[in-house]
Structure 1
C-alpha cells in the first residue's frame, strides 16, 4: 500500500531499482535503505574494467546521486549493518544500536566473496574484488612490469587480466578447471577466449589448483601442484556465495539463496528478497534460479516494487549477461546446462561469431562474441520458446529474425 514503511537491507543494484520503481509507482510511505558500504548504490561491473583502469571517476559509478534520494525522501543509512530482525514485531536492530520498524522488509543483501582457504592466504598483497575500496587497492598494484597472478578464470578473473595487461603488467591466470569460464560458456567460446588472452600476452594455465601462497611479509609466489608462480600481487576471483546470514538468523527458508516465489516473496508476507541473495521462481524458465547479474537485480527490484505497490508482476525475464575483455564484448542470453548441444554461427577466426546451445531441439542459450545482432535475435528466440533447426542457425544466409517469426 502507498503508505507502508519499507526497509531495504542492502545497497546494490536491486536495492536502487526498488527505490526508483517505488517512487515512480507513487509509493508515498517512508523508505529507508541500510547499506554496510559508505557510498550510495553504485554499478559494480566497471570495477574490474574502466574503474580499475582509472578511466572512470567514482561519481560516475553511482546509480543515483545522493541528492536523488534526499529529494525523494529516501533515508540512506550508509556504513551500517542490520544485526537482527524481529519478524514478529517487524523491527530491525542496527549495529549502532538503532531500531527500525517496517511494514515491508526487503532483503537485498547481495553476495559475499568466496574466500580461498590455503596456506598463506592472509598475506598482504592478496586481493579480492567486490567493492570500490577493493578496486582502489588493486588499482595501485597495476603498473608496467608488475607480476600479477590471478586465481580463477571466470568473468572477474579474465576482465581483471585484460585490464592489468593494458596497464603493462605481466599477467598469469590460474584456473583449476580444464577450461576458463567453465560454468557459463561453451567449450567453443571458452577456448576462443583463452586464445584471445594468450595472444594478448596473458599466461593462461588451466587445470592448475592453488596449494598455497608464499612470501616474507607479503605474497611473493603462488604455489600449485605444477610449481610456483612469482607474484608481486595476487587477485583471487573464485566466485561468490549468497548473503543469507540475516535471513537464516530470522528463520527464513534458504537453499543457495533466500527462497522466494515468482513475486520475490518469502514465506513471511511482510518480507521480500531480491538480487544475488534470492533464489526466485522464474516463470519464463519454469524453475527457481539464483543469478548474479545486473539484469536479474533490476528485474527483481521491479517485481518487488510491484508487490509493495499492490499490483504484483511475476519474475519472467530471460537471463542475460555480458563481459568486456580487451576489444571483445561477450553477451550471453539464456541458461545452458552441461550436455547441451553447441552449434556455431559465423567463423570464430573472424572475431565475431555466436554459439547457440540446444537441448532436445529447443534453444536454451546464445553466447555472442562481438555479435550483437545474434545476441538480440537469440534472446528473442529463447523468449519465444523456439526450437529452430540447428542447420538454419548455422546458415548465415538465413536471417535469424525469420526463425523468430516461423
Structure 2
C-alpha cells in the first residue's frame, strides 16, 4: 500500500505531511478540527437569496404536496420534521462515555420527514419539484401564481410522463427522487450501489420506479446514471455530487430550525452556542444544512460531520485539501459499512470547497457503536433510526473528550459557555425501515440501559 501513488506522491509521502492518515488507514475513531475554519464571513458560491427562493418555491408547491401526500396535510403541505429534547438519551450518553454533557441535547427528526423518511426528502424532493416547475412553465401549461394542486391531475402526469429523471444513490436519495418523481408522472430510474438495502429497492419498484443495481459502490452508480442522462435530452440527472438545487433545498432547513428554536425559547447567540452533528456521505445534505446554519446563526453555530471509519471521504478530502481527488480506497480502506447512506468513497468537490472555511470539524465512528446507540435510543426515547442516522449521536461526547475538541472550545472562547449550549443531533433516516429489518438492527446493539 505504501507504493500507492496519489497525484504523483506515494502514500508514505502523504502520511508524512498528514499524520492523521495513519489513524484513518487503521480505521481508528478520530476527531478532527478544521484548521481552515474561520468565524468571519466568507465569500461562497451560493447566495442567500437562492435559499430564500427555494423556500418560496416549496411554499408554492405546498398545495400539491398536501393533496398528493395526505400525511403532510397537518403541516399544510410543508415537508418538515420535529425538534425534540432527548434528556434520557443524554443521560445514557453521559453514562456510556463517562462524562457530563453540559447544556441540552436535542434530536432533529429528519428520520421522520414525510414522503420518504429521511433528510433526502429536503434536497431530493426539492430538485424534482423545481424541475417539474421549470418544464411546466416552459411548456406554457402553468404559471407561478397558479394553485399548484393542478399538478395532481392527469393532464400534468401525462405531460411529465414524456420526461425522465435519473439518479445514482446508496438508498435514501434514490428513495426520495423515486417517490416524488413517480407521483408527478416522470419516468424515474434509480442507479443503486451495492450498499443499498434491498427493502429500499423493493419500495421503489412498488412505486413504478426502475431500479438498476450495481455490484460496485456509489461512485459507479452515479457515473452510470450520468451516462444515461447524457444520452437522452428529456432526461434530468440529479447529481448528488454537484447539484446546486439539492444544496439549496437542504439549506432551507436552517431557516425552519431557527423558527423551531424560537418557539422553544432556545437562544442561539454569543453566550448560547449551538453545536450540530450531521452524518455525512458524499456531503450534499449535511453540506447544504451547514451552509444554511452559518447563514442564519453565523459564528454562533458549530457544525461537525460524522462518518464511518471505513468511509471517511469528506474528512479525508478536507484534511488533505484534495477533496474529490482522493478516495478512501486510495488509502486502502474498503468503503464497506452498515451505514449504507454514508458508504461513499469520494467526497463532492463542490460541497468540500464550499465547506472548507465554515465546517468546524469531523469525526469517525465504528459500525458497532452505531448499533449500540440505535438500541440505546430506542430504549431511552422510543425512537428508531437507521444505523447511519446514529452517527451524529456521540458528537457532544466526542467534542468534550477529544483533545482537539477541547482545544477548539478554548480557541473560540466557548469553554465557559457550555452549560448554556445546545447540541443538535441530526437524525437523517429511519421511519420507513421495515419492522423486521429494524428488529435485526436492534439485536445487533450491545447496551444495558
| More strand by percentage | 1
Q: Same fold (TM over 0.5)?
A: no
Q: TM-score, normalised by structure 1?
A: 0.34
Q: TM-score, normalised by structure 2?
A: 0.31
| More helix by percentage | 2
